[in-house]
Structure 1
Amino acid sequence: MNNMLEYKNYYGSVEMSLEDRCLVGKIEFIDDLIMFDGATVGEIEAAFREAVDAYVAFCAEHGKEPCGTYKGSFNVRVGPDLHRKAVVAARKNHQTLNEYVKCAIEHVLYEDPRAHEKPVHHYHVVPAERPRIEFRQSLSFELDVDAPMIAEVTNSSMRYGH
């Protein structure tokens, strides 16, 4: 699912307002706050295009450059171990850390076919034996399963199902 609209190199986000019973959008990645709304997907798309055109026209009328917030540098917090590994890998490749990180980002954006996929849940098949599950030391039971058990692992929690 993609909730980002794109038009003339501008991007818009869309959310649903239960209170107003409509879709509400915002032009993203600019310094100005430009919002739009609509009752249907078609209306929100049209309102987004109108908002972009109105924003660009307003900027032209007032001699203002349509603005974006990107200057080409940003801070990334990766933790000390990953930081050290990246510095070592950059040095081995005769690159600065900035060059190494830039190449890594370019690889993900332009070369990795999975770059725009969302993370998915991973399922692992657990043998269909009768697993013994114990809770503390006072309660235990056995599961009677006819089919393989599936374990879904999500954010360090595990849920079992058939």
Structure 2
Amino acid sequence: MNVMTVDGYNAKIEYDPDIDMFRGEILGLTGGADFYGRTPNELKAEFRKSLTVFLEVCKEKGIEPRRNYSGKFNLRISPELHERLAIAAQAEGKSINTLAQEALAQRVAG
């Protein structure tokens, strides 16, 4: 995944061949904000502009700019995987939750 970070905000970057530009979408916001650029420097400058405008609008409207996360989510897996996770967790003296947290943290570590 191509991610660009500005001021603690992350954006997913993709190339749009129809317009021959890169498109960025700022992630984790309570609304949508995107931006375009042809070069990395232009893309980063447009990211800053788009983020600034988004934050100003949020401030004017009294809206929290970042989406809130509860720290909970449901995960559906096959019964076979559930069994393997339970056995692995028991063997390590951990809960399935702890084992899953470790695996997820390792996956998103940069």
What TM-score does the superposition give when structure 2 sets the normalisation length?
A: 0.77
Q: Which amino acid aligns with 2:47?
A: F
SS, match of residue 5 in structure 2: strand
Matched-pair contact (CA < 8 Å) for 2:15–2:21: yes
Find the counterpart in structure 2 of residue 16 from structure 1: 15
Segments of structure 1 that go 5 or more residues without pairing to the other structure are 117-162
Q: Which amino acid aligns with 1:51?
A: S
Q: How many residues align?
A: 110
1:114-153 counterparts in 2 under 5 A? none
Structure 1's 92 and 39: CA in aligned 2 closer, same or farther, altered over 3 A?
closer
Find the counterpart in structure 1 of residue 3 from structure 2: 4
The answer to whether the aligner puts 1:102 opposite 2:101 as a matched pair is yes
Which whole-Å CA distance do the structure 2 matches of 1:3 and 1:100 have between them?
Answer: 27
| CA RMSD, Structure 1 to Structure 2 (Å) | 2.5
Relative to its length, the structure with more helix (as a share) is 2
What TM-score does the superposition give when structure 1 sets the normalisation length?
A: 0.56
Matched-pair contact (CA < 8 Å) for 2:3–2:12: yes
The answer to which structure, 1 or 2, has the higher relative contact order (CA under 8 A, 6+ apart) is 2
Which whole-Å CA distance do the structure 2 matches of 1:6 and 1:29 have between them?
Answer: 12
Find the counterpart in structure 2 of residue 73 from structure 1: 72
Deviation at 1:27, TM superposition (A): 0.7
Deviation at 1:51, TM superposition (A): 1.4
Q: Give the percent of matched residue pairs that are identical in Structure 1 and Structure 2.
A: 27
Larger Rg: 1
